């Protein structure tokens, strides 16, 4: 059976994804309506359909970008990143908004978020040292992670990190032992509020049966608080709570705030300490396909602020200063991955479209079953769409980028496919599988494209192999 014989996709209309912030101007609404009509609702806001089936992002042609820089290539819209930073600063004007570096990190990204007034959340000495070397103020950096190495802790202390989030009882001992005799390090305790939230079981971190944090339910969190208060070189400044990732509803955050405020009240009653800070983490959902939900930053801010103020009033506590850690919600919708088709074939009941990337540059479908919405770019097609599965080039049956998606029935080798919502957890989770080499990151803005991170070469990879 040929690809033309494959079944047609159900083309029923889906509502566009919910916006990140509050409603914009009439011009913004008109532009959004135009993008929705063009099937670009989950693309960067600068995305526009262009002649000959092309799409322009940040005023730059994706076809020309692929020709100039090769494929696969990550395209990142600088203005989109900056606007999303501003949305969070506007929604949370009295909070510390810290960008979660694990989503995507580069020198340029560090500059963008610093210039937009955000702090930084890091999970390793590597992320920390790159940030400080690039000029990021260390006092605006938060370090967390469930198993920080001695090197991580020494780097954090040596470079003057603002806050370290303690994640285990043994870490308290380890950290207290390496703080200089004349020093005092600000710390927070990561607590687990017993909330199941997140887009997949593997990214739910608010329950007691996973590796992160210290349980409120079994008393581990309160025990850690008491231990830290007994350490003369550790200054407990607050509690930290991250309940999961890709959370589209505000309610889990409201519930988490309520439970953590209750714990703060008990700490005040037992130790006479009113903690001045509360970090509610990140995990804010974005839409990967048209019709999917995003978490609205403005709605989140209003509900969390109300719950925090009401809960503190009931408990007789001063309202702590909030910190939140958006990562995916800042950079995810700003990215587009562009691939070139290498093969199209029918096997059994499926049509497979194989591209020149795959799980080495985007492992998320294999890890979490994430579904994307690829689009043919670079040429027009009047052929009706067919259901196909877009697969990668790697030697794994699970190397699938997009399953059962609609593409024109005449898709063929040499075509370009663009995958939106590709800014977060793509390069940062990329691997060297099959020695393919990680793609470059190209920033686009005002019609200009420039390389932020160059393509990884075979020479780059072979330099590490020093044995014969």
Asked if residue 368 belongs to a known ligand binding site, the reply is yes
**Residue 467 burial (CB count, 10 A):** 3
Q: Cα(374)–Cα(341) distance, rounded to whole angstroms?
A: 12
Tell me how far CA of residue 377 lies from CA of 54, 55, 64, in angstroms.
5, 6, 11
Asked if residue 425 belongs to a known ligand binding site, the reply is yes
Take residue 228 and report the two structure tokens written for it. Answer: 């830290």
Tell me how far CA of residue 242 lies from CA of 145, 210, 234, 258, 277, in angstroms.
11, 12, 22, 14, 14
Per DSSP bridges, beta strands 163-166 and 448-453 are unpaired
Asked if residue 74 belongs to a known ligand binding site, the reply is no
Asked if residue 349 belongs to a known ligand binding site, the reply is no
Ramachandran angles phi, psi of 285, nearest 5°: -70, 145
Q: Cα(415)–Cα(184) distance, rounded to whole angstroms?
A: 58
Nearest to 372 by CA among 383, 361, 381: 361
Per DSSP bridges, beta strands 335-347 and 416-420 are antiparallel
Q: Cα(352)–Cα(347) distance, rounded to whole angstroms?
A: 7
The span from the first CA to the last CA of the chain, in angstroms, equals 50
Q: Cα(374)–Cα(62) distance, rounded to whole angstroms?
A: 13
Cis-peptide into 105, omega within 30 deg: no
Q: Cα(338)–Cα(326) distance, rounded to whole angstroms?
A: 25
Q: 3-state DSSP helix/strand/coil percent for the chain, to nearest 5? A: 35, 25, 45
Asked if residue 396 belongs to a known ligand binding site, the reply is yes
Which residue is it, tokens 């978490």?
Answer: 295
Q: Tell me the three state secondary structure of residue 129.
A: helix
Asked if residue 309 belongs to a known ligand binding site, the reply is no
Asked if residue 326 belongs to a known ligand binding site, the reply is yes
Nearest to 423 by CA among 120, 68, 45, 155: 45
Asked if residue 139 belongs to a known ligand binding site, the reply is no
Known catalytic membership, residue 395: yes
Asked if residue 364 belongs to a known ligand binding site, the reply is yes
**Residue 149 burial (CB count, 10 A):** 12
Binding residues for substrate: 328, 364, 368, 396, 425
Binding residues: 283, 325-328, 364, 368, 396, 425
Binding residues for pyridoxal 5'-phosphate: 283, 325-328, 425
Could you list the active site residues? 395
């Amino acid at each position: 059976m040929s690809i033309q014989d494959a079944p047609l996709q159900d083309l029923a209309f889906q509502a566009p994804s919910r916006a990140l912030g509050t409603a914009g101007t009439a011009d913004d609404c008109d532009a959004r309506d135009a993008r929705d009509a063009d099937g670009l609702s989950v693309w960067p806001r600068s995305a526009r359909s262009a002649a000959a089936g092309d799409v322009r992002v940040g005023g730059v042609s994706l076809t020309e970008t692929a020709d100039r820089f090769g494929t696969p290539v990550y395209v990142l819209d600088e203005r989109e990143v900056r606007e999303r930073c501003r949305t969070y600063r506007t929604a949370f004007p009295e909070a510390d908004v810290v960008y979660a570096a694990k989503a995507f990190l580069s020198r340029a990204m560090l500059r963008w978020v610093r210039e937009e007034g955000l702090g930084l959340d890091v999970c390793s000495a590597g992320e920390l040292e790159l940030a400080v070397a690039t000029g990021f103020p260390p006092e605006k950096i938060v370090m967390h992670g469930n198993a920080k190495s001695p090197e991580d802790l020494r780097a954090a202390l040596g470079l003057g990190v603002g806050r370290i989030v303690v994640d285990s009882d043994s870490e308290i001992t380890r950290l207290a032992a390496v703080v200089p005799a004349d020093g005092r390090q600000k710390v927070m305790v990561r607590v687990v509020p017993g909330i199941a939230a997140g887009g997949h079981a593997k990214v739910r971190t608010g329950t007691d049966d996973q590796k992160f944090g210290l349980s409120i339910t079994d008393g581990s969190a309160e025990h850690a608080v008491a231990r830290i208060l007994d350490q003369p070189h550790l200054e407990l400044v607050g509690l930290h709570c991250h309940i999961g990732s890709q959370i589209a509803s505000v309610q889990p955050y409201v519930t988490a705030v309520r439970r953590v405020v209750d714990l703060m009240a008990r700490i005040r009653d037992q130790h006479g300490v009113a903690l001045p800070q509360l970090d509610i983490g990140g995990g804010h959902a974005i839409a990967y396909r048209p019709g999917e939900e995003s978490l609205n930053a403005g709605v989140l801010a209003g509900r969390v602020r109300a719950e925090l103020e009401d809960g503190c009033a009931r408990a007789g506590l001063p309202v702590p200063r909030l910190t939140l850690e958006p990562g995916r919600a800042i950079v995810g919708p700003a990215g587009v991955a562009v691939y070139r088709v290498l093969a199209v074939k029918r096997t059994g009941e499926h049509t497979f479209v194989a591209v020149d990337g795959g799980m080495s540059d985007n492992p998320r479908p294999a890890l979490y079953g994430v579904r994307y919405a690829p689009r043919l770019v670079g040429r027009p097609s009047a052929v009706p769409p067919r259901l196909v599965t877009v697969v990668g080039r790697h030697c794994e049956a699970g190397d699938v980028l997009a399953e059962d998606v609609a593409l024109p029935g005449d898709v063929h080798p040499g075509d370009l496919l663009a995958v939106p919502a590709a800014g977060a957890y793509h390069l940062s989770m990329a691997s060297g599988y099959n020695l393919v080499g990680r793609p470059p990151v190209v920033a686009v803005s005002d019609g200009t494209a420039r390389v932020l991170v160059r393509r990884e070469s075979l020479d780059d990879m072979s330099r590490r192999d020093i044995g014969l």
